[in-house]
Structure 1
Amino acid sequence: MSTDNAPETAPPTCYRHPGRETHVRCTRCDRYICPDCMRDASVGFQCVECVAEGNRGVRQPRTVGGARTVAAARPTVTYVLIAACVLVYLAELASPRVVLDYMMVGAGYLPGGELAGVAGGEWYRLFTSMFLHQRPAGGSFGLTHILFNMWALWAIGPALEQALGRWRFLALYLLAGLGGSVLLYVLAPTSAAVGASGAIFGLFAAFFVFSRKTGAPMGPIVFLLGLNLVITFAVPGISWEGHVGGLLTGGVLAAAYAYVPRGPRQQALHVAATAVVLMALVAAVLVKTAQLQPLLG
């Protein structure tokens, strides 16, 4: 009996690439998959869609600080902060007015008799001052001011950014800098200051907290922190309020990040802790401003 007219059965093809012949099936959905769509499984192969579906139910591992361990190794925020400070410093070199317009001062008179300060509504000085540094002829520190701060940021920033993740690291840096400005405003509103030192001291405190939490060697950070505290109180012209304010703010926020229990609510609790610290600093500014405004007339 002749079979010349019997229809030929088409070979199976990949469900994602219909033009590719294959005889391998996904062990989960049983669809045919080509070599480009195969993913190794405990038994056989799975397609890319089944692998993605399975990963949705797998909780990604996180660090003690709540950051995903698969986050990019490049410390992007650290580099951006360094670049921002350097660019602002170049602007200072081009125009001394940059320092006068954006340095931290609570309530005082600029050269020429101009009243300026946070109490007069220039609240932005609380933030902008942490990106300014002394100009080469601006005091006893000059160029070493920005060099030390940027070295410290480069030295400990990447490790902290990896432990905290980008948004927590940035929040801690900015709130520590803000905490230094706020303490200066509360205790010495007529004083002026510039520098990222408050934020850097906040990073020192965070490094100490996470070293203690993880059992890492604490000798280097204790020595560095102690040395800088001695310099803070021993050398004239340094705003100890800015340094201590940054240290306390960074320490409190880092403790919240490090010691909040892990679990599905960890991220929400970190956001809440950040908001609470910010609100406390804002409240301190509002109270001090209410005290100063009647005196300013």
Structure 2
Amino acid sequence: MSTDPNPASGAETPVPVCYRHPARETYVRCTRCDRYICPECMRDAAVGHQCVDCVAQGNRGVRQPRTVLGARTPRTATPVVTYTLIGVCALVYLAEAATTRVVWDFMMVGQNIGRSGQLIGVAEGEWYRLVTSMFLHQRPNSPWGIGHILVNMWALWALGPALEQLLGRWRFLALYLLSGLGGSVLLYLNAPADGAVGASGAIFGLFGAYFVIGRRLGGQVGPIVVLLVINLVITFTVPGISWQGHVGGLVTGAALAAAYAYAPARARQAVHILAPVAVLAVLVLLVAVKTAELTSAGTPL
């Protein structure tokens, strides 16, 4: 215990303690509120130290930095969503390698006869196939082999971080998932009896978004145009590739990116929320109409 430095006074002076930790002695004060703070409660400031409450209060008045497209700048430069999507696809691929049932149960198919002789597909109530198929890829013993997932994941790794940084995590995730869904929906509308797997629809959506946003920001879009043209040529010339998935993803991704990039500043946040909702609503409506058509026919196409 500390006492009054003037013993002649006979009065004891209480030892100063941290306002958050009364059991800790300290002689350091917050430069804003003048309360005593212990080392655990100290936060470096421009001059001296501040307590945690003053720092939190000050941060509430600071505007969050945003990207040129209006998204909040991520706290870390690590493309969390991109790496997570790659990780999920890799884990699913391991499951595919272990059993073919994963592909049969979750691949995209609108309406067809399954291995058990019963009708399977989206038209039979298996709507999840529209989404799960974008995380599947051809198995190692298939014609494309492991190259299918390697090419798609390379494209996601190459394009994803830049788009995620510009759009923010949730806008980027919406772009990826809705692009993949757009590819599945076009396949359902055009060739419901065909089966398909792969993240290619979502990847083509990233191609479209990269081009649209690049044009909007005045960037160099030549390389992405060349890459897109090469992939479209492969799409329409190599047998066994679902052009519907690629084109559907491309159109969906480009349309959603246009809403993100060209939204007026005053209504940007509203547009960025409503655009994905509107795209999802249109896709769901198209699926519902096609499902009604197939189920009324009674037999697979």
Q: TM-score, normalised by structure 2?
A: 0.86
**189-198 or 7-16: bigger deviation:** 7-16
Q: 1:201 to 1:10 in 2, by over 3 A?
A: same
Counterparts of 2:7 and 2:148, CA distance in 1: 92
Q: 1:44 to 1:244 in 2, by over 3 A?
A: same
Decide which of 82, 88, 91 is 1:87's aligned counterpart: 91
Structure 1 SS opposite 2:8: coil
- Code of the residue aligned with 2:238 in structure 1: it is V
User: How far did residue 45 of structure 1 move?
Assistant: 5.2
Matched, 1:106 2:124: no
User: How far did residue 243 of structure 1 move?
Assistant: 0.3
User: How far did residue 143 of structure 1 move?
Assistant: 2.2
Counterparts of 1:233 and 1:248, CA distance in 2: 16
Matched, 1:201 2:209: no
Structure 1 SS opposite 2:119: strand
Report 1:169-188 matches (<5 A). Answer: 169-188=172-191
Q: 1:280 to 1:37 in 2, by over 3 A?
A: same
Counterparts of 1:186 and 1:16, CA distance in 2: 63
User: How far did residue 44 of structure 1 move?
Assistant: 6.0
Report 1:27-38 matches (<5 A). Answer: 28-33=32-37, 37=42
Report 1:205-224 matches (<5 A). Answer: 205-224=208-227
- Code of the residue aligned with 2:242 in structure 1: it is S
Report the equivalent of 1:58: 62
User: How far did residue 266 of structure 1 move?
Assistant: 3.9
Report the equivalent of 2:292: 290
**199-208 or 160-169: bigger deviation:** 160-169
- Code of the residue aligned with 1:277 in structure 2: it is V
- Code of the residue aligned with 1:289 in structure 2: it is T
Counterparts of 2:76 and 2:86, CA distance in 1: 18
Structure 2 unaligned residues grouped into runs of 5+: 1-5
Counterparts of 1:204 and 1:108, CA distance in 2: 31
Matched, 1:96 2:100: yes
Counterparts of 2:106 and 2:201, CA distance in 1: 16
Report the equivalent of 1:125: 129
Report the equivalent of 2:3: none
Q: TM-score, normalised by structure 1?
A: 0.87
Q: How many residue pairs were aligned? A: 292
**201-210 or 278-287: bigger deviation:** 201-210
Q: 1:185 to 1:9 in 2, by over 3 A?
A: same
Decide which of 250, 268, 275 is 1:247's aligned counterpart: 250
Deviations 1:128-180, CA, capped at 9 Å, x for gaps: 111111123333x2221111111111111122222222222221111111100
The RMSD of aligned alpha carbons is 2.6
Q: Answer yes or no: is the 8 Å Cα contact 1:39–1:48 preserved in 2.
A: no
Structure 1 unaligned residues grouped into runs of 5+: none
Decide which of 34, 40, 48 is 2:45's aligned counterpart: 40
Matched, 1:275 2:280: no
Counterparts of 1:285 and 1:38, CA distance in 2: 55
Q: 1:3 to 1:176 in 2, by over 3 A?
A: closer
Counterparts of 1:157 and 1:23, CA distance in 2: 47
Report the equivalent of 1:226: 229
User: How far did residue 215 of structure 1 move?
Assistant: 2.6
User: How far did residue 270 of structure 1 move?
Assistant: 1.9
Q: 1:134 to 1:3 in 2, by over 3 A?
A: closer
Structure 2 SS opposite 1:63: coil
